[in-house]
Chain A
Amino acid sequence: MKKALLKDSLKEIRNTYKRFISILLMAFLGVGFFAGMRAASPDMITTIDNYFDSQNVYDIQIISTLGLTNEDIEALEQVEGVQKAYGEYSEDILINYEDTEIVTKVLPIDDINKVALLEGRMPENKNECLVEKTFCSRTGKKIGDNLIIEEADDSIIKEKEITIVGTMNSPLYVSRQRDTSKLGSGMVSYNMYLLKESFDSEVYTGVYIELENSKQMITDSEEYNNYIQEMTKKIEQIKVQRETARYNQVKDLAQEKVEERETKLKEEKTTAENKLKEAENEIIEGEKQLKNAEITLNNKSKEAEQKFKLAEERIKTAKAKIKEEEENLKKEEQNANAQIQLLNKQKQELQANLQSINTNIQQLQNKLDKINESLNSNNLTQEEIASLQEQKENIENTLKNIKAQKAGLEATLLSINSGLEQIQNGIKEGKEKLNDAKTTLENNEKELNKTKELTNKQLERAKQEINDSKKQLEEGRKTFEINKAEYEEKIKEAEKELSDAKQKIQEIEHPTWYILGRDSNPGYSGFMQDTKSIENLGRVFPIVFFVIATLISLTSMTRMVEEQRVQIGTMKALGYNKAQIASKYLLYSGLACLIGGSIGMIIGFETLPRIIWMMYSMMYVIPNFVASFNVYFAILGLGLASVCIIGASLYTVLKIVGDTPAQLMRPKAPKAGKRILLERIPFIWKNLSFSKKVTVRNIFRYKKRVFMTIVGIAGSTALILTGFGIKDAISDILIKQYENVYNYDMQISLKSDLEETDAEKFIKTLEEKEEINKIAEANMTSGALVNGESEEAVQIIIAKDEKINELIHLSDRKTKKGVKLEEGKIAITDKVAELLEVKKGDSIILKDADGKENSVIISDIVENYIYHYVYMPKSLYEQLYGKYDTNVLFVQNNVKDNQEEELASKLLKEPNVNTVSLSSNMENVMDDMMKNLNYVVVILIVSAGTLAFVVLYNLSNINISERIRELASLKVLGFYDKEVYDYVTRETAILTSIGIIFGLIGGYFLSIFIIKTCEINVLRFGQEISILSYIYSIAITVIFTLIVNIVTYFALKKIDMIESLKSIE
């Protein structure tokens, strides 16, 4: 390029800087948007790749239906290309929190899939754990707090109480989605990490493999995927062998156990039988003894009876004898008494004799005494003495005789007395003797009676004892019988168990290894899907920009070249060749393109991916976003922009540069006016005011510009509408889900261990509560739908009765008519039907949480927006899968919105309630998340707005410069500024309106396309764009138009009439 030419070119830029800037801006927007949007997806992939590399995330995961062993790990490490294999555990537990149970998945801390510590420290003891940050925020637990683990029988986690020592992010769960679980409501709420030592299991639940050299590759790249495929093949080579080994191991182990159990059972059997026999023997012995005792007792009592009889007889005899003797004695006594009487008579006689004697004696004595006295008297003659003496002697003799008589008498009396005494004594003695005998007899009799009584008592006691023993023995026998029966039962059971176990050994399935790549990780695969969506977006959006940028550059450059016709002619006349002349314009547009494009690229690379990342960070937890400078897209973007913009310039220049200098130097005839079709319809044309006629005619005059304007405005409006449309589509989800589909205000999940009767009682009390309006009972569980190769996870809602229809609005997705669950069929939600390509009436495989598969018929496809659901009646569930339990209540309440919280916390205190989730809260939470989406809208609106502005400004500039003479003429004619402005902008207004209409149509389809592209698997985005969005889009375009019009107004005001009209250049 010649120096003068270069100078001219640069001066041209300075003089027409507005045009230059507008081309620059087009390049900026085109390249910036292209680069930014296209780089977003690779940036996201780089970020996750870096994250995965730094956390040493697995390349291949192996899961076996029978678990994996250290031998498996050794074998895997032998495979060429395997860097290291790590055995891993995972276990779902329930954590008690206040009155609820939180389903938590416990994973081990290891060198693979390393967790990223956020706060606190790593666990050092078996009872220390890391939790998710959201766990802390939900439960209010802090580092240092303890958690109580609910006991479970076969859990491999033995700790009961663990301490939180830190929070973490797990690279295995980059999304907010957690795994399904057999516990609780079927979903894991949080993950938790413990030391590997805390897991008490010999078998690993899975093996994670780190491959050699995989870190050098970008994840999900073709290279990486090929490598994984290749390695999967290699691992598959040892698969069968390892599976068999594991099978044998398990079988042997089971066999061993069964055998062990068998021997043990045998032993137990013998001991038990021995014991039983012993017990039986004891009982028999006891019975024998008892019999003996009975016999002895009988004998004894018989003996005693005889003895007593004998004794009694003897006593009887004795009594008889005594009686006899008594009688004898009586007789004797009588005799004696008679004798005594006789004797006493004799005695009396004697005594009377004696007395008479004594009287005789006395008389004699007296006579004697008188004799003696007379003797003793001295006066007495001897004859007298001798007569006296003789008398005396006589008397004395008589006396002597009498006396002898008396003595005889007295002796007789004495003998009588003694005889009497003797008799009396004899009787007395006899009596005494008899009495003695009698007493003895009585004593004997008494003694006998006593003995008899005692003996009888003893006998009685012995009898009692025997009876007692008998009873005891009977009881013993009974117990023995029961025990025996029990034992037999037990043995039977044990034997059954044993045979079952044996059967089970036979039934042990051959284990299957599942060799999985990262794409089986839901978070990762979701993320990768999203990067694909972004990639698709990146393919579509920039096209709009590029098309518009090209068109604008084309018009700008055309205008520029046309303005410089004369100059070009002069140059040609001066002898410059085509290339040299063209070079000025190429330089001009090239510079604009390069500068604008470079700035756009830098800003695009730096901002757009970040903003997109920000949006996605509401769904994913991946740190350290990398906004890289993507050389490929840089070159591609700039290249495309250059092709469009420089190409457009080249096209216009070459079109003109071929003319002869003379042609060029003559002014190009102004565009001729033409009658338009409308004029041929008089009733329309005539009713148009003059200025409107002019406007209408002008519109049809500059077709190119009109086309540009319409395309530009339409493009911008479409983009703006798309921005709003995306927002609508997503925010619609909430509204539709929570207002159209869910009719309930709260969802109550019941405790898992609830008895059926308790649940029923509780529901009844709930129903009676004033605050509660309606309740529908259901069982909610996780499962999957399978159609051929494709499988989608779903939530299964088993409705207890038809009440469900009042609380969940099941309506046909197309007709919007309410549907009822049909017996024996299921209703599925629309998105999953679409994903699995099934329709009403088809049959599909339904898998429950345990993986049990059944083929069912779809009765309806119902409207739904968030997640996938299968609705089925209780009867079908029980027929296919077994017992139904209510675990979820859908509740509609009567309270005002602001009292719902209170009601919820009141309900939460009920012992049967596990969780209460308010629809309004859920809506708020999701709403917060969706606020991030406004970024997209803002990006789209700002860029579309800028586009609109640039387009309009450019076109308005072209419009003015193209028609400057005309406008100057109007000014000369004395048109006020406002009138000139109206003259011009009336056109713009019409074109803008048309552009907006096209834009709205285009925007509608673009939104639909983008919504379809970006749609997340588990969500159905709304397909309707709200009226408000149309209004906003129109308003924004109009506002930009107005801004441009204001600029135009001043540009028009500045038109220099003299300069413009002076001459034609």
Chain B
Amino acid sequence: MAYIEFKNVNKEYKMGEVTIKALDNTNFSIEKGELVVIVGPSGAGKTTTLNILGGMDSVTSGEVIVDGKQVNKLSNKELIKYRREDIGFIFQFYNLVQNLTAVENVELAVQICKDSLDPETIIEKVGLKERKGNFPSQLSGGEQQRVAIARAIAKNPKLLLCDEPTGALDYKTGKQILKLLQDTSRKEKMTVIIITHNTALAPMADKVIHFKNGRAEKIETNEKPTSIEEIEW
């Protein structure tokens, strides 16, 4: 059994009288330590998939298994615990707490986790040693995203979920962020899932899942993923 299993997952949203099918019988699996890139156009169900994986959303039907845990059956509280202990999230807009400094933002995550990593070390790892005492507003977008990544990985999660992590960043910065993610996956043996609409990024992943109309249409596996530095787009 794979580390992560997505089996026949359906997700419907009811907007008044209209029912929108976000996921339509989606199936895929991910192995532990894999760097996965999910690509696809807007509205294909990428974010929904990520939300479900992250325990932020429920499924209408189907099974989601993460490290043997049947996520779709978890109660609300268990979901929070799951998010708290197993998941690290990275968003397009960083979602840092503005009132906390870089290192404090990491601390915020760390203080609720059991086997967390040392915030200072992590901040150093993401290359923000010099700027750890700065508030988000005093940091650039890339730096903010580094803080977000630091915050996510400081929890030592089983799964790092990144929703368009470079969406709001320029090319160079975006690349640096992706590098950080790739390195983290490799070095920490962390399962990382990155959502992007940029198909050019596909080669960097161990596995690429193509989404379309709420389905995982195509799943490719790169035997030899390319280092992000080598990818140009």
Could you say which of B66-74, B79-87, B176-184 contacts chain A? B79-87
A680 contact set on B, CB distance < 8 A: none
Q: Mark B121-142, 1 if CB is under 8 A from A, else 0.
A: 0000000000000011110000
B98, A670: Cβ atoms closer than 8 Å = yes
Question: In the assembly, what is the distance between CA of A593 and CA of B151, in Å?
Answer: 46
Asked if A240 is an interface residue, CB under 8 A from chain B, the answer is no
B83, A973: Cβ atoms closer than 8 Å = yes
B54 contact set on A, CB distance < 8 A: 972
Asked if B217 is an interface residue, CB under 8 A from chain A, the answer is no
Could you say which of A447-455, A581-589, A820-828, A961-969 contacts chain B? A961-969
Question: In the assembly, what is the distance between CA of A695 and CA of B144, in Å?
Answer: 22
Asked if A1058 is an interface residue, CB under 8 A from chain B, the answer is yes
Instruction: Give A1062's nearest chain B residue, CB to CB.
Output: B47
A974, B87: Cβ atoms closer than 8 Å = yes
A residues 666-715 in Cβ contact with B at 8 Å: 669-675, 690-691, 693-694, 697-698, 701
B83 contact set on A, CB distance < 8 A: 971-974
Question: In the assembly, what is the distance between CA of A457 and CA of B35, in Å?
Answer: 176
Could you tell me the distance in whole angstroms from the C-beta of B22 to the nearest C-beta in chain A? 11
A670 contact set on B, CB distance < 8 A: 98, 137
B107, A974: Cβ atoms closer than 8 Å = no
Asked if A97 is an interface residue, CB under 8 A from chain B, the answer is no
B84, A973: Cβ atoms closer than 8 Å = yes
A673, B100: Cβ atoms closer than 8 Å = yes
Q: Mark B95-128, 1 if CB is under 8 A from A, else 0.
A: 1111111001001110111000000000000000
Instruction: Give B86's nearest chain A residue, CB to CB.
Output: A974
User: Quick one: given A969-B95, A973-B84, are A673 and B101 in contact (CB under 8 Å)?
Assistant: yes
Question: In the assembly, what is the distance between CA of A966 and CA of B54, in Å?
Answer: 18
B96 contact set on A, CB distance < 8 A: 969
Could you tell me the distance in whole angstroms from the C-beta of B52 to the nearest C-beta in chain A? 10
Instruction: Give B148's nearest chain A residue, CB to CB.
Output: A969
Question: In the assembly, what is the distance between CA of A697 and CA of B54, in Å?
Answer: 30
A1058, B56: Cβ atoms closer than 8 Å = yes
Q: Which of A674, A966, A1063 contacts B97 (CB 8 A)?
A: A966
Asked if A994 is an interface residue, CB under 8 A from chain B, the answer is no
A972, B100: Cβ atoms closer than 8 Å = no
Could you tell me the distance in whole angstroms from the C-beta of B107 to the nearest C-beta in chain A? 6
Q: Which of B57, B87, B99, B104 contacts A690 (CB 8 A)?
A: B104
Could you tell me the distance in whole angstroms from the C-beta of A668 to the nearest C-beta in chain B? 12
Asked if A979 is an interface residue, CB under 8 A from chain B, the answer is yes
Instruction: Give A676's nearest chain B residue, CB to CB.
Output: B99
Question: In the assembly, what is the distance between CA of A693 and CA of B151, in Å?
Answer: 18
A1061 contact set on B, CB distance < 8 A: 91, 93, 95
Question: In the assembly, what is the distance between CA of A671 and CA of B100, in Å?
Answer: 12
Instruction: Give B87's nearest chain A residue, CB to CB.
Output: A974
Asked if A1064 is an interface residue, CB under 8 A from chain B, the answer is yes
B87 contact set on A, CB distance < 8 A: 974
User: Quick one: given A973-B83, A974-B112, A976-B77, are A669 and B99 in contact (CB under 8 Å)?
Assistant: no
A972 contact set on B, CB distance < 8 A: 54, 56, 83, 89, 95
B151 contact set on A, CB distance < 8 A: 973
Question: In the assembly, what is the distance between CA of A975 and CA of B108, in Å?
Answer: 10
B104, A672: Cβ atoms closer than 8 Å = no
Asked if B173 is an interface residue, CB under 8 A from chain A, the answer is no
Q: Mark A498-529, 1 if CB is under 8 A from B, else 0.
A: 00000000000000000000000000000000
A973, B112: Cβ atoms closer than 8 Å = yes
Could you tell me the distance in whole angstroms from the C-beta of A984 to the nearest C-beta in chain B? 12
Question: In the assembly, what is the distance between CA of A506 and CA of B54, in Å?
Answer: 114
Asked if A1057 is an interface residue, CB under 8 A from chain B, the answer is yes
Asked if A326 is an interface residue, CB under 8 A from chain B, the answer is no
Question: In the assembly, what is the distance between CA of A584 and CA of B113, in Å?
Answer: 47
User: Quick one: given A672-B137, A966-B97, A1061-B91, are A973 and B56 in contact (CB under 8 Å)?
Assistant: no
Could you tell me the distance in whole angstroms from the C-beta of A981 to the nearest C-beta in chain B? 13
Asked if A977 is an interface residue, CB under 8 A from chain B, the answer is yes
Asked if B29 is an interface residue, CB under 8 A from chain A, the answer is no
Q: Which of A693, A698, A973 contacts B109 (CB 8 A)?
A: A973
Asked if B51 is an interface residue, CB under 8 A from chain A, the answer is yes
Question: In the assembly, what is the distance between CA of A969 and CA of B112, in Å?
Answer: 14
B56, A672: Cβ atoms closer than 8 Å = no
Question: In the assembly, what is the distance between CA of A701 and CA of B135, in Å?
Answer: 13
User: Quick one: given A965-B95, A966-B97, A969-B95, are A673 and B56 in contact (CB under 8 Å)?
Assistant: no
B113 contact set on A, CB distance < 8 A: 974
B104 contact set on A, CB distance < 8 A: 690, 693-694
User: Quick one: given A969-B96, A974-B81, are A672 and B111 in contact (CB under 8 Å)?
Assistant: no
A975, B56: Cβ atoms closer than 8 Å = no
B137, A697: Cβ atoms closer than 8 Å = no
A976, B80: Cβ atoms closer than 8 Å = yes
B57, A1058: Cβ atoms closer than 8 Å = yes
Instruction: Give A667's nearest chain B residue, CB to CB.
Output: B93
B98, A979: Cβ atoms closer than 8 Å = no
B98 contact set on A, CB distance < 8 A: 670-673, 701, 966
Question: In the assembly, what is the distance between CA of A966 and CA of B95, in Å?
Answer: 7
A1063, B93: Cβ atoms closer than 8 Å = yes
Instruction: Give B96's nearest chain A residue, CB to CB.
Output: A969
User: Quick one: given A673-B136, A673-B137, are A969 and B97 in contact (CB under 8 Å)?
Assistant: yes
A697, B99: Cβ atoms closer than 8 Å = yes
B108, A974: Cβ atoms closer than 8 Å = no
Instruction: Give A980's nearest chain B residue, CB to CB.
Output: B80
Question: In the assembly, what is the distance between CA of A976 and CA of B99, in Å?
Answer: 20
A673, B99: Cβ atoms closer than 8 Å = yes
* Chain A residues within CB distance 8 Å of chain B: 669-675, 690-691, 693-694, 697-698, 701, 965-966, 968-977, 979, 1057-1058, 1061-1064
Pick 18 A–B contacts, CB within 8 A, sort by A: A672-B98, A672-B138, A673-B100, A675-B135, A693-B104, A694-B108, A697-B100, A698-B99, A966-B97, A968-B95, A972-B89, A973-B151, A973-B155, A974-B83, A979-B112, A1058-B51, A1058-B57, A1061-B95
* Chain B residues within CB distance 8 Å of chain A: 47, 51, 54, 56-57, 77, 80-85, 87, 89, 91-93, 95-101, 104, 107-109, 111-113, 135-138, 151, 155
A-B contacts besides A672-B98, A974-B84, A974-B87, 7 pairs, CB < 8 Å: A672-B138, A673-B99, A972-B83, A973-B89, A973-B151, A1062-B47, A1063-B93
